[in-house]
């Protein structure tokens, strides 16, 4: 028997003594269990790692273990709270440890290696961006309509503390996400093809319309904006921005050479959006008519948009 054959047999015997399964953990909790046999390509009688399967495994582990960074922001009193690191899979370190498990039969437990992901906005950047308000708008609503007021608040919280960097676009639908009961949105009146009906998330168009007018006052570029099929009472005619998850969106782009910060607050029957930037920005503001402070008349449940009972 030749030397190469003897070495091959010895390696096969050694492989047989290695643990079959590998448990991948994150902070001590199991997130994946890997079987050695599923990642081996037979070649000349010796086990070779299937790199394609390893790459797909790392993609899946990255999704399972990823923690998004949190940007620095402002609390309700305007005080800065610091950003937080995120974490993503260290693919090189994981591959090295995986090969070690496959070839050398090291420990059957592996704590997922990760690299830090730094927040895009830190306290220092936020300190400079929050210096100068360049656009502000406020609209009013009946806070006794609890469901609608709740939806306006949730949408305002979603867009609050959002940064838009030079050249970037902001999509209301993308940032706020689908308005579902699972996210806490409630049923309230909405306009559908010119008629009043009820739907999940009714009222959020007041938040998007308030944002639109603040953005327009700040001189930012409006990319996409649609009006309701009928006039809405909380903004002047033609100053609304209707949104729907499977339909219209409100999108604007930051054409300035400075990042901008969106602040949105809903309380006491009014929702306000303020656009901030640094002192050095050369904002080209636009004139936008203010919203009426008169509360819009509520449409009774048994009447249509024209106030007529069927």
For 64-108, the DSSP string reads: HH-B--B--EE-TTS-EE--B-EEEE-HHHHHHHHHHHHHH---S
* DSSP β-ladder status, 29-35 and 80-81: unpaired
Q: Is 215 helix (H, G, I), strand (E, B) or coil?
A: helix
Length of the chain: 310
pTM score: 0.74
- Which pair of structure tokens corresponds to residue 13? 């015997």
Rounded to whole angstroms, the Cα distance separating 34 from 278 reads 51
Which residues in the chain are classed under CATH 3.10.20.800? 18-117
Neighbour tally for 292: CB within 10 Å: 13
Rounded to whole angstroms, the Cα distance separating 145 from 161 reads 26
For residue 123, give every residue at least 6 positions away whose Cβ sits within 8 Å of its Cβ, in sequence order, or none.
Answer: 72, 80, 82, 83
For 275, which DSSP code? E
Name the residue among 250, 177, 179, 247 with its Cα closest to residue 213.
250
Please report, in tens digits, the pLDDT of each residue of the chain (310 residues total).
Answer: 444 444 444 444 455 556 678 899 999 899 999 888 888 886 655 567 889 999 999 999 999 999 999 988 888 778 888 989 999 999 999 999 998 888 877 668 899 999 999 998 888 888 888 889 999 999 999 999 999 999 999 999 999 999 999 999 999 999 999 999 999 999 887 654 444 545 788 899 999 999 999 999 999 999 999 998 888 899 999 999 999 988 999 999 999 999 999 999 999 999 999 999 999 899 999 999 999 888 766 544 433 333 333 3
Rounded to whole angstroms, the Cα distance separating 215 from 235 reads 14
Q: Are 92 and 55 in contact (CB under 8 A)?
A: no
Strand partners, 47: 42
Domain 18-117 CATH assignment equals 3.60.15.10? no
């Amino acid at each position: 028997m030749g030397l190469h054959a003897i070495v091959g047999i010895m390696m096969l015997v050694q492989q047989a003594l290695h643990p079959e399964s590998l448990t991948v953990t994150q902070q001590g909790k199991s997130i994946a269990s890997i079987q050695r046999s599923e990642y081996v390509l037979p070649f000349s009688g010796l086990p070779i790692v299937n790199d394609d399967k390893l790459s797909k495994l790392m993609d899946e582990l990255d999704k399972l273990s990823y923690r998004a960074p949190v940007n620095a922001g402002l609390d309700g009193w305007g005080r800065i709270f610091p950003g937080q690191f995120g974490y993503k899979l260290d693919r090189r370190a994981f591959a090295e440890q995986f090969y070690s498990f496959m070839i050398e039969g090291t420990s059957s437990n592996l704590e997922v290696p990760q690299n830090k992901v730094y927040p895009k906005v830190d306290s220092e950047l936020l300190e400079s961006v929050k210096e100068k308000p360049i656009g502000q708008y406020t609209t009013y609503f009946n806070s006794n309509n609890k469901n609608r007021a709740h939806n306006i608040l949730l949408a305002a919280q979603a867009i609050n503390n959002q940064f838009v960097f030079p050249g970037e676009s902001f999509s209301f639908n993308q940032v706020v996400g689908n308005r579902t009961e699972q996210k806490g949105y409630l049923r309230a009146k909405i306009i559908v093809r010119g008629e009043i009906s009820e739907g999940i998330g009714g009222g959020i168009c007041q938040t998007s319309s308030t944002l639109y007018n603040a953005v327009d006052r700040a001189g930012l570029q409006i990319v996409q904006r649609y009006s309701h099929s009928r006039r809405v009472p909380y903004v002047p005619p033609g100053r609304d921005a209707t949104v729907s998850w499977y339909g219209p969106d409100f999108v604007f782009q930051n054409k300035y050479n400075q990042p901008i910060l969106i602040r949105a607050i809903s309380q006491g029957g009014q929702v306000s959006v303020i656009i901030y930037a640094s002192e050095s920005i050369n904002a080209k503001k636009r004139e936008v008519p203010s919203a009426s402070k008169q509360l819009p008349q509520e449409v009774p449940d048994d009447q249509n948009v024209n106030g007529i009972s069927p």
